[in-house]
Structure 1
């Protein structure tokens, strides 16, 4: 008979491998949590990565919909206590057993992914933030029962706003990749018009003064959300504050990496180096 604890440890190890592969910044920040909490974050991240990959790793709409429908079916089964016998779902069941989790943000994440399949460029920054609530704000809500055990309701809006800030950061980092690889323009069309930056210029990867002003307009909003989140961080569990603040500051650092690279989010890979992460972490104070 397989030992339950060793099997569960292997399930969490699988989830840790996923987050280490796909997001070094998240892993760096959340690996500082107590092991039980870190494991829970790894499991949640793995679910979100599976949802994201359902869309990004399938090249036709029909395949994307089939993959997302399959994940929705598995989530429905999980919600009714009949989860699939795989490392992810076994780990998530343990998370739900340990913490006062809410299943709704997991469904909201899939709603956000479906919005990507039926993609329509946002007309305004408000539209972009509404989309971000589903694909990223939902993640903040998933994590709250783990890192803010006594303040979930009070910190819900703050967690959603951090998710929005991170999604805006992703969009500003991946402007070229989103257009070339996915045929998507996440930059709000009204703002593009207002700043005088055209789709043709975007397709050509032109980094004009108009593009920089447009980029900074969105970055300023993201940074305001980061600042607001950090100011409200006192409600998080004492053993989680360092990880939470570090994750926000490291992700915010991606914006500075784009600036240092001359706003080239078309041809360069913009990221926060391990050394820079260490410097950011060292500056964290509560």
Structure 2
């Protein structure tokens, strides 16, 4: 794998994935370089469909098919790809061959990106979970392969939960951006209807107690996934555990910010400052060194406790998904 595609992949990662990039830098070298390439691959596919003024549907599908083919080492029409995209895909293909990545996971991921072209609403949480099998779980599965996790049978269910938790955190944080810029709503319709929240409210930034309740419900559900996810970090190689723990702490910190702004993700910024991220690196490392246990360190350092207080306060919130229970 040449250094130029790695440099390109790293630049894409740093530019578009600030939270995860901080944690990636703390991975061991054998995994860190591969993670830059994986993230860049995921990102170039995602950016095909995440455009404020997207090209026609057939052009989006055509480009995703080119990305899919190139990633799998098949004949691809590279003329629709930029120079950076071709470099990333060359590096990804080398990585895939070296690590024997499952080509089915590539298909499942690209299928999810293709689904974003035309499907922009989800009726139920179960339906959203099906989408996240490609958009989140496939990402986690490829990361697990690159990390060379020995206890895959034990680790996989936890990795899926953590990958879904990261994505759900992004969905909650970016509710208004998604509907205003991409006309997408990832909060399930069943959740919005339970609290009499309309899409027009989200689009207008009309914050009410009902909207806050819907956001609070989404956070409670997501935090159940974090709890299940971090319980499996101990199955990862020891030199990768801290970086994954830190990623979980950083993503979960958005929940603290969301609570601090009274759940008003429609009008307020729930992102993390550089100072806050650095503080969390130090805090997480302290608890990691003190306890030697990633799960204990997570609860000591993160915005999420080891019990579902939100769910305890209101049984109107949806119960833990089956795969987490």
Q: TM-score, normalised by structure 2?
A: 0.79
In the other structure, the counterpart of 1:210 is 210
Deviations 1:97-128, CA, capped at 9 Å, x for gaps: 43232222221111111211112411112222
> 2:191 and 2:68 mapped to 1: Cα distance?
37
1:102 maps onto 2:102 in alignment:
yes
**SS of aligned partner of 1:240:** helix
> 1:198 and 1:179 mapped to 2: Cα distance?
12
In the other structure, the counterpart of 2:126 is 126
8 Å Cα contact 2:197/2:211 also seen in 1 = yes
> 1:57 and 1:197 mapped to 2: Cα distance?
26
Deviation at 1:222, TM superposition (A): 0.6
Equivalent position to 2:28, from 28, 34, 59: 34
8 Å Cα contact 1:15/1:46 also seen in 2 = yes
C-alpha RMSD of matched pairs (Å): 2.1
> 1:54 and 1:81 mapped to 2: Cα distance?
20
Alignment of 1:127-276 (within 5 A): 127-276=127-276
Deviations 1:68-98, CA, capped at 9 Å, x for gaps: 4223234324424667693212211332243
8 Å Cα contact 1:51/1:109 also seen in 2 = no
8 Å Cα contact 2:120/2:183 also seen in 1 = no
Q: How many residues align?
A: 279
8 Å Cα contact 1:55/1:68 also seen in 2 = no
Describe the shift of the 1:197–1:67 C-alpha distance in structure 2 as closer, same or farther (beyond 3 A). closer
1:16 maps onto 2:10 in alignment:
yes
8 Å Cα contact 1:30/1:41 also seen in 2 = yes
Runs of 4+ in 1 over 4 A off after TM superposition: 81-85
Provide structure 2 residue ranges, at least 5 long, that are not aligned to the other structure: 294-325
Deviation at 1:24, TM superposition (A): 1.1
Describe the shift of the 1:127–1:147 C-alpha distance in structure 2 as closer, same or farther (beyond 3 A). same
**SS of aligned partner of 1:43:** helix
Equivalent position to 2:66, from 50, 61, 73: 73
> 1:160 and 1:68 mapped to 2: Cα distance?
27
Provide structure 1 residue ranges, at least 5 long, that are not aligned to the other structure: none
> 2:50 and 2:112 mapped to 1: Cα distance?
13
> 1:158 and 1:142 mapped to 2: Cα distance?
14
Describe the shift of the 1:216–1:20 C-alpha distance in structure 2 as closer, same or farther (beyond 3 A). same
> 1:69 and 1:103 mapped to 2: Cα distance?
19
Describe the shift of the 1:90–1:183 C-alpha distance in structure 2 as closer, same or farther (beyond 3 A). closer
Deviation at 1:139, TM superposition (A): 0.8
**SS of aligned partner of 1:279:** helix
> 2:24 and 2:15 mapped to 1: Cα distance?
14
Describe the shift of the 1:251–1:139 C-alpha distance in structure 2 as closer, same or farther (beyond 3 A). same
Deviations 1:12-36, CA, capped at 9 Å, x for gaps: 0110000000011111001111223
